[in-house]
Every structure is written in structure tokens, then in C-alpha cells.
Amino acid sequence: MRKHWIDNLRWVTVLLVLFYHVIYFYNAKGVFGGIGGFYEVQPWDAVMSLLYPWFMMLLFLVAGISSKYALEKMSHKQFIRSRSRKLLVPSTIGLLVFQWMVGYFNTVVAARQGVFDGVPAVGRYFIMAFSGIGPLWFVQDLWLFSMLLVLFRVIGKGWLDRWIDRMEARYEEASIPFITPVLAVSCVLLFFGAQFLVMHPRPASADGLWNLYRPVTYFVLFLLGYYVFSRDYVQEMVAKLRIGSLVFAIGTGVAYTIVNYRKNDTDPLVLRSVLCNVFAWFAILAMLGCFKAWADKTSPFAAYMTRNSYGVYIVHYLVIASFGYMMKTHTTLAPWMQYAILFVAVMTIPFALNEIIKRIPFVRWCVLGIKQSNSK
């Protein structure tokens, strides 16, 4: 039986990513990317603090859960082929076919400063394609994690699954809820992963990319999803704890936002803090628990979003970059109007782009990683 709450959780989180990028593009907190804020202090930038610490972590954890279910139906070879088509192709070939347009807006400011002077057109194209990765770092990370998971399964031959089964049985015999050590250890692992960030990124090095991709942190979440949170027992217990998790998430989220007001939420010093990781963990638990308890159902709209949220995620940043850049640099619209237009645009146009692209043979394979349109 399909777990609709997982589908709903995934597409709702994708919509939160789209909303986040509206605020992010005009942020005044010093977060890299975007085009800068309208004022030195923008209270609404606090939305970034409320979302950034946890929503991508949640997507990786959900991806781990989904990988568990997929590998129950697929062989390793089928899983590798499926994930490579869906993840690797859009984040490599797709850069040359579609995302170079995102790269154009990411590099247009640099081009005006003469950075591309003397660079031939072909060279500029490949620079723009690489600069267009944008949110596709998530897709690249996820493909790598999927390949490592297959390797773990082959080498370990199910050892970790069997060990978790034994631990669960022992706690049940002792009449101690298995969820207690699971949540404690998971939070510690999350904090542990954050310590691998580079505190002082060196200029002209890969340190910045390492901090963006955060492979240790996100891989920990992916494995937790696969080995732990894919279990029905754990899901049921998290659902029972949803109110407490939600209260703690709101409390720690408010505290985190106040402490880090006007700070760069992507700063390693912020991401490595105990408060950031505790807030992130309770927010993840609250989302899992609330959706498990209250959103395990579907509708025509939810079914549509389940089928298309991935494609919307793939193409959405072109809308953010193009509309955001053009309004900020070529109009005198009031800031609130620019936010409003950008929000409406990113909540509508990516859906149209996705519908168009998935109907074009070969292009849909390059950009979205699909063989045929799922337009039903």
C-alpha cells in the first residue's frame, strides 16, 4: 500500500523550497547567491532562519525512506539505472540543455564587470552551464548517496538491518520504547555530521562547495531514513510524539531565529551550533509525525503534485533568477510588489515549464530524467 503521507510531505517541502528562494533571492543576511536585499535590515529574512536548518535535511531523510521501499521492489541494477536516469542525467546533461539559462543570470553581473572579456562564446556557454547547477546540488548529492547505499548493501549483506532488528527486539523485551535511543542517537549523528563543515573556507578552493553540498550531514540523514525511519514501528512512534515534537520545534525555532537574527544561516559557525541542530531535528520529527498522523490521504491535486513536484523543483530556479534579476535591476517596482510577483511567478510558471518539457521527447530525458510524459 502506498504511503500517501510521504508523497505529501515531499511535495509540500518542495513548495517550501520555492517559497524560501523568493526570500533568499532578495536577502540582506549575507547568504551567498541572489541579488541582495532592498534594505540593510529586512525582518522578513527571518523566514530563512525558520526554514533553512531543516527542510533540505528532511528531503534527504525522505529520500532514504523512499530508497528503502524502492529496493524492496528493484534489483540493485534496476535501482542504479533508475536513479542515474532520474538524478544524474538532469544534473549533468540537463545543465547543457536547460540549466545554462540559470547560469546566464548567475553570471550576468560578473560578465558586466568584464570577467568574460576575451572568453570565446563556447567557453562562456560551458561556464554558464556549470554555474547553473543551483538547486541541483541536491540531486547530485542524492545520486551519490544512492550509489553508496548500493555499495553498502552489497558489502554489508544486510548486516546493519539485522543489527537494528536485534536492538529493537532487546528493547521490546526490556519494555523500553525503541524510539527513545533511536531519536537520541539520531540527533547526536546529526550534530556529528555538522562538525565536518569547513569553518574558514579558503578562497579559490573547494571549501565553499563542500559546505554547500554538506555530504556528511546529508548522508547521515539519508541513511537514517533508509535504515531507521522506513520502519513502520518508528513511523508510528514519531506520529504519537508529534505534538511534543511540534512544541519543541516551535520553541527552538523561535530561539534560533532570535539568536541568529541578521546572521548568515549558511555560516559554518551557525550550522555547527547545538541550537541549530536541535531545532533542525525537532522540526524534522514534527513534520514526519504530523504528516503521518494527519496527511495519509490523497486527492487529485495531491496526486498531481506527487507526480510533478520533482520536475517543478528541477526547473523552478530559472523563474527565480530571471524574474528576480529583471525586476531588481530594470524596474522601479516597490519591494513588496517584487516579492509578490516573484512569489506568484514561482508558484505557477515552473508548473507550466514542467508540463511543456515533459512533452518534448529527448529534452524531457535530459532535463527531467523521464522517458515518457506522466501527464495524467
Global pTM reads 0.95
- Does a structural domain hold residue 28? yes
- Does a structural domain hold residue 250? no
Q: What is the DSSP string of 294-312?
A: H-----HHHHHHHHHHHHH
- Each residue of 300-343: pLDDT tens digit? 999 999 999 999 999 999 999 999 999 999 999 999 999 999 99
- Does a structural domain hold residue 372? yes
Judged on CB neighbours under 10 Å (0-12, 13-18, 19+), 295 is middle
Rounded to the nearest 5 degrees, what angle is found at the Cα of 182, between the Cα atoms of 177 and 188?
A: 140
- Does a structural domain hold residue 10? yes
- Each residue of 7-26: pLDDT tens digit? 999 999 999 999 999 999 99
- Does a structural domain hold residue 142? no
Residue keyed to cell 536485534: 166
Count how many domains the chain has: 1
Domain of residue 311 covers: 1-51+298-376
- Does a structural domain hold residue 87? no
- Does a structural domain hold residue 136? no
**Can you tell me the distance from the alpha carbon of 268 to that of 283, in angstroms, rounded to the nearest whole number?**
20
Q: What is the DSSP string of 195-246?
A: TTS-SSPPTTSSHHHHHHH-HHHHHHHHHHHHHTTTSHHHHHHHHHTHHHHH
**Can you tell me the distance from the alpha carbon of 287 to that of 271, in angstroms, rounded to the nearest whole number?**
20
pLDDT tens-digit profile, the chain (376 residues) = 889 999 999 999 999 999 999 999 999 998 988 899 999 999 999 999 999 999 999 999 999 999 999 999 999 999 999 999 999 999 999 999 999 999 988 887 555 555 667 788 898 899 899 999 999 999 999 999 999 999 999 998 888 888 888 887 877 765 667 787 888 889 899 999 999 999 989 887 889 899 999 999 999 999 999 999 999 989 999 999 999 999 999 999 999 999 999 999 999 999 999 999 999 999 999 999 999 999 999 999 999 999 999 999 999 999 999 999 999 999 999 999 999 999 999 999 999 999 999 999 999 999 999 987 655 5
- What single DSSP character describes residue 136? G
- Does a structural domain hold residue 20? yes
**Can you tell me the distance from the alpha carbon of 130 to that of 147, in angstroms, rounded to the nearest whole number?**
23
Q: Indicate the residue type of 65.
A: I
pLDDT of res. 160: 85
